[in-house]
A and B are shown apart, each in its own frame.
Chain A
């Protein structure tokens, strides 16, 4: 919601006197085409990226779940013991270190892969754009301002770069995170999950209220 107003400016680039910004017709179709253009040549890479995201999230969640294990099995029972046996704890910690290391590695790997994918696909988009542009009739350049044409190359393609390389994987990451956290929460305690979800609903409602209240 925070991006509503800036979006208005960015899209209505010809808005020196033009009315409301043009609505995006059929965003679904554009999205599909964008995915095809960005990931089409890199299907194998994307499989690994998705795997990496999954692994990264699962390792993180497993790390948080360890807290329960740590407190319930390794701390509480040993309080007041004269000579606690820390060997199992040591083993558990080593296990967790390995799992978290796998998580870190996955994050690093999928980010690296995404840079490769996004730069490559942007290069091919730019090349296609230029090749097609060279074949356009003179009429096109007489009717469209040079600034607008240039802006497609610089502004729009750069926005695409950011979205392809960062935002889309982050979005996937967030969604998987939310789902796995919810599952873990439900496994731990259903009633408490309801409490949490209730507060989440309150927060979302507050956001909507501020948006409609202000604007």
Chain B
């Protein structure tokens, strides 16, 4: 509040000063204009009476009008010039935003439709087959290899910092095989969300390698990489459109039946059916009329319809009614089946059945293992889980 008061006060003082100036200059200029008029009238009259230089009464009449009309534009010019200069400052900002470097992408490996022939070799296919592969062109040999999309994610000794001086993640090693469920726990700011930001290359790492199905993600085209990932975050951004369209955002070529199937998987189908127009109900701007829980269910449906091999789940901790929370949990569980999942977990029930739990502290993985293994260690995880102090 004090900051606002200070800003407000500064504005008041400056505006006051500016207005003071304008209010003084206005009358001053007007009076000087009058003096000019009178001067010209007197001298001009002398000229007209004496008919010096062919100056007549008519000339004086015109001249006086000109005199009056001259002052206004001259004052206006300086004001208008200032306005233009002010606008140049605004234009500068506009152009700076326009000139910002867009996201660069040196990736060249693409995700393509594939089919397997009898020996198990993968080749590119024109139609949608449901089987996907990475098309990897090797420049050195001039050959192209196809790697099946499975959802194998490996972090190899990864270091990362938002700036080069401050590294926030150290020596991260993760080996996620297809279908594995990996949970990240840790205190706020330990780096959980940061790790998930790295998988889809929102940021690039400083050291180490991240591999997806054996391919360095730096080599993969960003759009294709992100297409192979499903993300369910705490905030769902809906857009103005029908519910069907909002769910279809996960995969634009989905059919209506697929939309409904995804909604059923996400446990969203029942609440959608209760809406006035069902799937054709229009949601306006970011879905204000839906509850937080319902929006989450729609987010899960979006991820379901995209059918990605790798899933990133950031569990919502905001207050949702228990019934919807149960629906969300069931929906997420169904969604996670068979996919490599990275969960940022807050609910114990999600963590318990993970294949591997990683405990993060200040950017390092300090413990890893299954729920039972970690409890045995009686380390940080045990402390978090039981809320007990560890006897030293």
Interface residues of A (CB under 8 A from B): 1-11, 16, 24, 27, 30-31, 33-34, 64-73, 76, 125, 128-129, 132-133, 135-140, 142, 149, 152, 155-157, 159-160, 162-163, 167-168, 170-171, 173-175, 177-178, 181-182, 184-185, 188-192, 195-196, 199-200, 202-204, 206-207, 210-211, 214-215
Interchain CB contact under 8 A, A30 and B91? yes
Q: How far is the CB of A196 from chain B (nearest CB, A)?
A: 5
What 8 A-B pairs have minimum CB-CB distances, sorted nearest first?
A72-B58, A71-B58, A199-B36, A156-B90, A135-B102, A163-B87, A68-B58, A5-B18
Q: Does B125 contact A (CB under 8 A)?
A: no
Residues 47-104 of B at the A interface (beta carbon under 8 Å): 47, 53, 55-59, 61-63, 65-67, 69-71, 73-95, 97-98, 100-104
Q: Is the interface of A mostly helix, strand, loop or mixed?
A: helix
Contact with A along B25-48 (1 / 0, CB 8 A): 100110011011001100110010
Specify the chain A residue showing the minimal Cβ separation from B38.
Answer: A199
Interchain CB contact under 8 A, B62 and A188? yes
Interchain CB contact under 8 A, A200 and B82? no
A residues less than 8 Å from B15 (CB atoms): 5-6, 9
Q: Tell me the complex Cα distance, A20–B61, Å.
A: 51
Interchain CB contact under 8 A, A2 and B79? yes
Contact with A along B315-354 (1 / 0, CB 8 A): 0000000000000000000000000000000000000000
Q: Does B384 contact A (CB under 8 A)?
A: no
B residues less than 8 Å from A173 (CB atoms): 73
Q: Does B166 contact A (CB under 8 A)?
A: no
Q: How far is the CB of A17 from chain B (nearest CB, A)?
A: 9
The one of A155, A156, A214 that contacts B21, using a Cβ cutoff of 8 Å: A214
Tell whether A129 pairs with B70 under 8 Å between CB atoms, given A68-B61, A71-B58, A174-B76: no
Specify the chain A residue showing the minimal Cβ separation from B68.
Answer: A64
Specify the chain A residue showing the minimal Cβ separation from B69.
Answer: A181
Tell whether A174 pairs with B73 under 8 Å between CB atoms, given A67-B58, A192-B47: yes
Q: Tell me the complex Cα distance, A33–B317, Å.
A: 49
Contacts A/B (CB < 8 Å), 23 sampled: A1-B21, A1-B78, A2-B82, A3-B83, A9-B10, A9-B11, A11-B86, A31-B88, A34-B87, A70-B61, A76-B56, A132-B97, A137-B103, A139-B203, A155-B90, A156-B94, A178-B70, A178-B73, A188-B55, A189-B59, A195-B39, A195-B43, A200-B70
Q: Does B255 contact A (CB under 8 A)?
A: no
Q: Does B20 contact A (CB under 8 A)?
A: yes
Interchain CB contact under 8 A, B56 and A68? yes
Interchain CB contact under 8 A, B84 and A132? no
Q: Tell me the complex Cα distance, A134–B72, Å.
A: 46
Contact with A along B258-281 (1 / 0, CB 8 A): 000000000000000000000000
Interchain CB contact under 8 A, A140 and B100? yes
Interface residues of B (CB under 8 A from A): 3, 6-7, 10-11, 14-15, 17-18, 20-22, 24-25, 28-29, 32-33, 35-36, 39-40, 43-44, 47, 53, 55-59, 61-63, 65-67, 69-71, 73-95, 97-98, 100-104, 162, 197, 202-203
B residues less than 8 Å from A138 (CB atoms): 103, 197, 202-203
Known: A10-B89, A16-B7, A170-B80. 4 other contacts (CB 8 A): A67-B65, A68-B61, A178-B77, A215-B17
Interchain CB contact under 8 A, A211 and B21? yes
Interchain CB contact under 8 A, A27 and B85? yes
Q: Tell me the complex Cα distance, A67–B89, Å.
A: 44
The one of B28, B73, B100, B202 that contacts A177, using a Cβ cutoff of 8 Å: B73
Specify the chain B residue showing the minimal Cβ separation from A148.
Answer: B93
B residues less than 8 Å from A167 (CB atoms): 80, 83-84, 87
B residues less than 8 Å from A69 (CB atoms): 58
A residues less than 8 Å from B47 (CB atoms): 189, 191-192
A residues less than 8 Å from B24 (CB atoms): 210
Q: How far is the CB of B25 from chain A (nearest CB, A)?
A: 6
Q: How far is the CB of A149 from chain B (nearest CB, A)?
A: 7
Specify the chain B residue showing the minimal Cβ separation from A7.
Answer: B86
Q: Tell me the complex Cα distance, A67–B85, Å.
A: 38
Q: Tell me the complex Cα distance, A203–B33, Å.
A: 8
Q: Tell me the complex Cα distance, A199–B91, Å.
A: 36
Interchain CB contact under 8 A, A137 and B202? yes
Specify the chain A residue showing the minimal Cβ separation from B76.
Answer: A174
A residues less than 8 Å from B63 (CB atoms): 185, 188-189, 192
Interchain CB contact under 8 A, B66 and A3? no
A residues less than 8 Å from B89 (CB atoms): 7, 10-11, 24
A residues less than 8 Å from B75 (CB atoms): 203
Specify the chain A residue showing the minimal Cβ separation from B86.
Answer: A7
A residues less than 8 Å from B39 (CB atoms): 195, 199
Specify the chain B residue showing the minimal Cβ separation from A64.
Answer: B65
Interchain CB contact under 8 A, A149 and B97? yes
The one of A31, A71, A162, A189 that contacts B44, using a Cβ cutoff of 8 Å: A189
Specify the chain B residue showing the minimal Cβ separation from A163.
Answer: B87
Interchain CB contact under 8 A, A159 and B66? no
Q: Tell me the complex Cα distance, A16–B8, Å.
A: 11
Q: How far is the CB of A132 from chain B (nearest CB, A)?
A: 5
B residues less than 8 Å from A125 (CB atoms): 94
Tell whether A160 pairs with B14 under 8 Å between CB atoms, given A2-B21, A203-B71: no
Tell whether A196 pairs with B69 under 8 Å between CB atoms, given A31-B88, A174-B76, A188-B59: no
Specify the chain B residue showing the minimal Cβ separation from A33.
Answer: B95
Q: How far is the CB of B33 from chain A (nearest CB, A)?
A: 7
Q: Tell me the complex Cα distance, A73–B79, Å.
A: 40
Q: How far is the CB of B240 from chain A (nearest CB, A)?
A: 16
Q: Tell me the complex Cα distance, A190–B86, Å.
A: 37
